Structure formats: C-alpha cells, structure tokens
C-alpha cells in the first residue's frame, strides 16, 4: 500500500484537461478575472459559502490566498485549481482538493464553486470527472469526500452523477453564510466503478 503521494513536493499541480474545460492552479495574473466573476456571482454563491471577508476580492487578499495555496500544496495538504472553458479560456469556477490525509486514510475532500453565468452547463461535472483520476492516480488517494447542504439540489445532483455515493448526514457540519448547517456526506473510492 502506498502511504505517500507520487509527485515530489517541489512539483506544481499540473494542468488537468476535461470535457470542454482546463483546470490549473491559480496564478497572480488571474486576479482580475477571478474577482470579477466572484463579484458578478456574489448573490448566487453566498448562500452556499462561508461569509466572505470584507477584503476578499482585493488583490492583496488574492496574493495571500495564492501564498496559502502554494504552502498547502508544498505540504501535501490541499490542491487548488481554477476551471477555464477550453474554447475561449474563460474562467468558469474553481475546485479544491483539501484536507488531504495520508497514512492509513489516503483521503481528501473536494469543494467547488461555479460562476453564475456558467452554472448548469456541465462545466463543474466535467471538472469533477477530470480531477478524480488525478487524485486517485498521481496523488495516490484511496478516497475522495464531499459534503453539501441537503437543499442544494445542484450539488447533490453533481455528486451523484459523478460517481459519489451518499454515506451519511452530519449535523451542524459547516458554517455557511454565518449559520451552522447540516450536510449530506458523500464519498468515492479509487476502486468504485467509473
């Protein structure tokens, strides 16, 4: 059994290609497009996310975010990606593999967001399908986890159509929009059918 990942800590996460999308780690030059999409999607996103800090969309906050992403990746704790539409390189959202746990667990949790103009167009399904082989292959994880608020029908549908199975229900699991919400717990194993 492999207890350590297969890429060296000095490597950056690769670009990942999916059906109509390209995923890659965020870069400093992404700030303007990222901030514009997040701002344009604020009302769409805030019911499903933690409360945004007052300076969340500023360049300085984005630089801090990139620094944290790089440190977490170096320490094999988390891997952040932005998702771009392949046809025109438009930013459509983001996906993060976080809470990576090694040793006997070999697991991580995925979280994601999509900009309002790009919702329900299949981009996030393509991104989740594309990141799964990277997680189970290059990172040698055995299990991927995800959680969503029961009333988030889009997220429930996304997880179920990308091969995640509901495993449980966690009371007061995450503080979303300033309120502790119950969440449905999902997982996918490396040896689950594709």
Tell me the average pLDDT across 75-99. Answer: 97
Whole-angstrom distance, CA of residue 177 vs CA of residue 45: 10
One-letter-per-residue 3-state SS of 59-121: HHHHHHHHHHHHHHHHCCCCEEEEEEECCCCCEEEEEEEEEEECCCCCEEEEEEEECHHHCCC
Task: Give 135's pLDDT tier (boundaries 50, 70, 90).
Answer: very high
Residue 8 is predicted with a pLDDT of 41
35, containing H or E segment: helix 31-40
**3-state secondary structure at position 183:** strand
Residue 11 is predicted with a pLDDT of 56
What is the helix, strand, coil percentage profile of the chain, to 5?
A: 30, 30, 35
Task: Give 12's pLDDT tier (boundaries 50, 70, 90).
Answer: confident
pTM: 0.91
Q: What's the count of helices (H) and strands (E) in the chain, helices before strands? A: 5, 8
Question: Which domains are present in the chain?
Answer: 16-144 (3.40.630.30)
Task: Give 1's pLDDT tier (boundaries 50, 70, 90).
Answer: very low
Q: Report residue 21 as tokens.
A: 């999308």
Cβ distance 188 to 158 under 8 Å?
no
């Amino acid at each position: 059994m492999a207890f350590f990942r297969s890429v060296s800590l000095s490597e950056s996460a690769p670009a990942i290609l999916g059906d109509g999308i390209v995923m890659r780690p965020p870069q400093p030059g992404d700030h303007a497009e990222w901030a514009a999409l997040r701002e344009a999607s604020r009302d769409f996103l805030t019911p499903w996310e933690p409360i945004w800090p007052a300076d969340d969309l500023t360049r300085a906050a984005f630089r801090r975010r990139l620094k944290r992403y790089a440190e977490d990746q170096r320490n094999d704790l988390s891997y952040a990606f932005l998702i771009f539409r392949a046809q025109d390189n438009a930013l459509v959202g983001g996906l993060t593999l976080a809470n990576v746990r090694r040793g006997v667990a070999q697991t991580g949790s995925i979280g994601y967001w999509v900009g309002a103009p790009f919702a329900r167009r299949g981009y996030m399904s393509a991104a989740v399908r594309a990141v799964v082989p990277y997680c189970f292959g290059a990172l040698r994880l055995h299990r991927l986890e995800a959680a969503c608020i029961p009333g988030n029908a889009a997220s429930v549908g996304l997880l179920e159509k990308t091969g995640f199975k509901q495993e449980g229900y966690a009371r007061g699991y995450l503080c979303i929009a300033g309120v502790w919400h119950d969440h449905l717990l999902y997982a996918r194993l490396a040896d689950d059918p594709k």
